[in-house]
Amino acid sequence: MAHVASHPPVPAQKTGLFAHTELTYLVAFLIIGVVAPYVLYPIFVMKVLCFALFACAYNLIFGYVGLLAFGHAAFFGAAAYVTAHSAKFWGITPEIAILAGTAVATVLGAAIGWLAIRRQGLYFAMITLALAQIVYFYALQAPWTHGEDGIQSVPRGKLFGFIDLNDMMSMYFFVLAVFLIGFAIVHRTIRSPFGQVLKSIRDNEPRALSLGYDTDRYKLMAFTLSAGLSGLAGGTKAIVFQLASLTDVFLFTSADVLLMVLIGGIGTILGPVVGAVTLVTMQNYLAGAGSWVLIIQGAIFVAFILMLRKGIVGTWLEYRETRRRRHVEAAKKAK
């Protein structure tokens, strides 16, 4: 197999009215992030940031490679457990604990990806689901995870040995920084030649193969990166809430991140963030509805799918693009 450098170039992504630079997104998120804790409850915003990063990581494999995975909670939860255990029982600093959790999630992602990427469609989804359930049952039975109790009272510690994360605002800005770094990695990946190859695999894998690309290798690399970023989100969440529990590795967590991407817009850079904000807000305000929560959520999701088939961001981009084309056509006719 030829090296990547010798392959025919993949066409660069088209730029237009809605092509934004990475810096623009980061500055916008930074401004919103700085203002948010003074308007909203910081713990709520930190939860949104953690799940927004998780959704961005999932969108990398689902939206840009076209692989529907049902097991990303395994990476999110595994990192949460490793981070919590490292911080509480080994006494290591929070940044090292999170990096340890991220590393474990990355290795786990490489192993699961190696087994799963040889299949497509429903078979791929079922393999990832089955392997994720193995991780769930391991977390339920292993002594160090403490079963149904989880790992509680995880110390936040001091970042780099001197920034006390028990201070709410210090914790918040650390989480914001983690999200911005993770988002920048995702954005840079999908805008790079590597990301263009991933899109070509999603759109027409046989053609990518005919051009000489080792599609399985590209899919494995994307899956591993997605798992690592999911682990980064999970480890950060464990420090924020000082808890790692079975919920983190449960099937519903995989379903939640899938819904975030669907609601926000598959294959859009901002969609997962919007979807995470929508879903976490919905769960927060519906918490008092008791057993009606799932019914209400289900009705809302059906409405989203029926009325906004491309998600919130996807539908908005389509609408703006349609308007732009109409203006261009009208300008041509006027001439």
pLDDT for 125-164, tens place per residue?
899 999 999 999 999 999 999 888 899 989 988 888 888 8
Whether residue 207 lies inside any domain: the answer is yes
pLDDT over 80 (residue 334): no
Query: For residues 35 and 40, what is the distance between their CA atoms, to the nearest angstrom?
Result: 9
Q: How many domains does the chain have?
A: 1
Whether residue 171 lies inside any domain: the answer is yes
Whether residue 85 lies inside any domain: the answer is yes
Whether residue 276 lies inside any domain: the answer is no
Q: Which domain holds residue 170?
A: 18-251
Average of per-residue pLDDT values in the chain: 85
Whether residue 170 lies inside any domain: the answer is yes
Whether residue 105 lies inside any domain: the answer is yes
Whether residue 328 lies inside any domain: the answer is no
Neighbours of 40 (CB within 10 A): 12
Query: For residues 76 and 217, what is the distance between their CA atoms, to the nearest angstrom?
Result: 23
pLDDT over 70 (residue 13): no
Question: What's the rounded mean pLDDT across residues 189-214?
Answer: 88
Q: To which H or E segment does residue 158 belong?
A: strand 158-159
Whether residue 196 lies inside any domain: the answer is yes
- Note the pTM of the prediction, 2 decimals: 0.88
CB 173 within 8 A of CB 46: no
Q: Which of 154-158, 161-165, 219-223, 252-256 has the highest mean pLDDT?
A: 219-223
